[in-house]
Amino acid sequence: MRISPPDLLKKKSLNQKIAVITVYDYTFANIVEEAGFEVMLVGDSLGMVVQGHENTIPVTMDEMIYHTKIVTRATKKSMIIGDMPYMSYQVSNEECLKNASRFLKEGLANAVKIEGGRETVDKVRLMTLSEIPVVAHIGLTPQSIHRIGGYKVQGRTEESKKRLLEDAKMLEEAGAFCMVLEAIPSDLAKTITESISIPTIGIGAGPHCDGQVLVLHDLLGLFDRFLPKFVKRYANLKDSALSALKEYKADVEKGLFPSEKESF
Ligand code: KIV
């Protein structure tokens, strides 16, 4: 049995932090599960780190389902959350429900994530009532990049702090079982975390959340187009990959590989 929403609620009640990571393919999903992660997010950030888009807006439902299927196939125990891409839930409640159910039926995900505050409350309620576990996502919501005008920290003014706290409570009441808090001041993240009973998962939200999520390619140093302040790099795999690739290329060019050892 995979990790479920009650397991995460229990973790919060026991004050145990939840480590989450984004994953998009079979090889990394295997490694991430072997590393002991209980929760993986197939994030629409794949639009940037896998597909090379400037932002997450172009990502489609079919692409998300494709990657979600791969990740669920690679894992046995972890909870797999499918990220609802831009325009898969905004048009209507019916469209939202239909697309969310595709993550469970086709992608075999265990939950979905949806960006937005009070404007998504009806959708969160509808999905929850239809047995689709929902992760909410407030603060900096990357699908709103054109309105916001960049990847800016949210919740800096008293008014927006109040609004985000209200949003968090409304989303919990609508049935969300977990909530991503992105790029908000840590004092606000602390207040939200203490005001709701579901776990908060921070990214650029300071140390007081119930858990943390990072984009795999950022954490491993594979993606260096830009590095947000909130990212901690735990490895520099781009450099390792570069030197391995250069060595292989040189070996082939010098006739050193393949040798007798690699031949039949
Ligand atoms: O798409 C994504 O990877 C995300 C996380 C960074 C929260 O939404």
Mean pLDDT of the chain: 97
In tens, the pLDDT along 94-114 reads: 999 999 999 999 999 999 999
Q: Assess whether 33 carries a catalytic annotation.
A: no
Q: What is the mean pLDDT of residues 131-148?
A: 98
pLDDT at 226: 81
pLDDT at 16: 98
pLDDT at 225: 85
pLDDT at 3: 98
pLDDT at 192: 98
Q: Where are the domains of the chain?
A: 5-233, 237-264
The two most distant CA atoms of the chain are separated, in Å, by 71
In tens, the pLDDT along 216-244 reads: 999 999 998 888 999 999 999 999 999 99
Q: Which of these is catalytic: 33, 115, 172, 182?
A: 182
Would the pLDDT of 167 be above 90?
yes
Give the span between the Cα atoms of 15 and 224, in whole angstroms: 34
Q: How far apart are the first and last CA of the chain?
A: 45
Q: Which fold has domain 5-233?
A: TIM Barrel (3.20.20)
pLDDT at 224: 86
Would the pLDDT of 177 be above 90?
yes
Which residue has a Cα nearest atom 2 of ligand 1? 43
Residues with CB under 6 A from ligand 1: 22, 41, 43-45, 83, 180, 182, 203, 213, 215
The token pair that represents 31 in the structure block: 């490694």
Give the span between the Cα atoms of 96 and 107, in whole angstroms: 16
- What does pTM read for this prediction? 0.97
